Structure formats: C-alpha cells, structure tokens
Amino acid sequence: MRFLLYNIRYGTGRRERHAWMDLLRRTDRHFEAIAYFIRELEPDVVGLVETDSGSFRTRSRSQPQRLADMIGHYHAFEVKYRRHGLMRHAPVLGNQGNAFLTRLAARRHTFHFFEQGFKRLVIELELERVSLFLVHLSLRRYIRRRQLHHLEELIRHAGKPCIVAGDFNALLGPKELAPFLRRTGLKRANPENRPTYPSWEPRRVLDFVCFTPSIRLKAFALPQVTLSDHLPLICDFDLPA
C-alpha cells in the first residue's frame, strides 16, 4: 500500500513574505499542479492536511472532491475546528480542514475531535486490514501533549494495525514524539529525521507517519518539491494479512 501525506497549504503555494495574506489568493491553477503531482505518484491512500472544501479561493469547488474525481478515489473531508464552534461559520475558515482519499475499499470513516486546541480534528479511516488516523496538532506544546494523550486512546480502541500521520507541529523536533511512540509502541517512518519544513530550505521535522510494528515499511521518500510550504511524505507499506 502506497500512502502519501501532504500538507498542501490550501493549494495557495509556498509561503511568501506576507504569510497570512497570501493564504487568501485564488488557488485554481496552483492546485491543478498539486493534483497532477499526486496523481503521478499513484497513491493508494492520501492524507491531505490544510485543504479547502469550497471557499472563494477555489471558486466554491472542493479540493478533496476535485482530486478524488481526478484520481478515482473515495474521500472523506471535515473542517478542523471544533464541531459547534464559531470558526465553522466564518468565511474561508469554515472551509478549511483535512481529508483522506483512498482507492482501497473503505469500511468506515469517523471524525473525532480533541477536547482542546484551535485545530481539533482527527479523521479515522478504517480499511480492511488497517486503520489510519490523520491529525494537525496545535502550535502550543502543552496542548499538543494533551492531544497526543487523546490520540493514544483512539489508537488503543482501533482494533487493528494503525497508521498515524499528519502535521504534528513538533517544534522541538522528533524527540517530542518519543513519549507518544513509547506508550503506543508505534514506529516512525523517516528514521533519519530528514526535515519536512519549509519546503524550499527544510530545517524542521514537522510531518510524521507512524505505524504499528506489524506493518512493514518497504520504502520512504521525501520528494523535494515546493508546491506547498511542506514537503510530501511517501511510504510504501506491506500490511499484515
């Protein structure tokens, strides 16, 4: 199974001088470049972080839906803010979230929400032989710690081998995940700690793919592309029978 994790920054391109203002630019042409890049990789499952479900940036078209139509994948999208929060009713912000796409048969998808943090969404995607979790953790360290404890509980109740992936915002680097990995028994792709951010001059390891030891990592790649401010992570897995 080929899994791709990619924080696409809503299809707005790499961060420029006015980082927040450039998040409001139209995305049609640039998102097409991202979509073609993903299609060429031929992934079985895609975890998209920071994707737009249809704001003015995308001319009211959903990026996950457009990508699913292009590559023939089932998709599950949800807004990343708390379920009944005011952010969901705000222009643009109410369309910002994360998504899974899969060409493998999906048994179910579930949207969980952390109890704390600005970004709270956890998407759980259950396939026949594996469950996947997609996250985008808080920028605040003490909130991240609490979110990771909540994530541990979700993993324990999954009932099958797991892949946990996302933008962990681990500003202290991989060592910040060590307690989480120790408690869950998960292994981490990218053992050489190759940095994933920013894409044009990578210095930080912010994006992670973790997996149950019964899953075998066959290959790992970190393409040096600057379509977003994050680099994409590609993992080829052998799943247990």
Domain ranges of the chain: 2-238
**Third-level CATH fold of 2-238:** Deoxyribonuclease I; Chain A (3.60.10)
CA distance 96 to 61: 13
> What is the Cβ-side half-sphere exposure of residue 218, based on CA atoms within 13 angstroms?
8
Reply yes or no on whether the pLDDT at 16 is more than 70: no
Each residue of 65-83: pLDDT tens digit?
999 998 888 999 999 999 8
String of DSSP letters for 165-221 = EEE---TT-GGGGHHHHHHH--EES-TT----BSTTS--B--EEEEE-TTSEEEEEE
Each residue of 31-48: pLDDT tens digit?
999 999 999 999 999 999
pLDDT classification of 157: cutoffs 50, 70, 90 = very high
- In this prediction, residue 17 carries a pLDDT of 61
**Tokens at 134, concatenated:** 């997609």
- In this prediction, residue 237 carries a pLDDT of 98
Reply yes or no on whether the pLDDT at 164 is more than 80: yes
Number of neighbours of residue 90 by Cβ within 10 angstroms = 12
What percent of the chain stands above pLDDT 90? Answer: 85
The closest alpha carbon to 230, from 11, 78, 3, belongs to: 11
Average pLDDT of the chain to the nearest whole number: 94
- In this prediction, residue 5 carries a pLDDT of 98
- Mean pLDDT across the stretch 59-63? 92
- In this prediction, residue 20 carries a pLDDT of 67
Contact 168, 135 (CB under 8 A): yes
Of the candidate ranges 25-34, 96-105, 222-231, the one whose mean pLDDT is the lowest? 25-34
pLDDT classification of 86: cutoffs 50, 70, 90 = confident
The single-letter code of the amino acid at 1 is M
Each residue of 197-239: pLDDT tens digit?
999 999 999 999 999 999 999 999 999 999 999 999 999 999 9
| Residue keyed to tokens 């179910």 | 108
Helix axes 63-71, 28-41, angle to 10 degrees: 40
CA distance 214 to 162: 9
- In this prediction, residue 19 carries a pLDDT of 65
Give the strands of the sheet with 96-102, arranged side by side.
Answer: 74-79, 96-102, 45-52, 2-7, 233-238, 216-221
- Mean pLDDT across the stretch 90-96? 91
Each residue of 207-218: pLDDT tens digit?
999 999 999 999
**Which residues are CB-neighbours of 139 under 8 A, at least 6 positions away?**
118, 169, 171
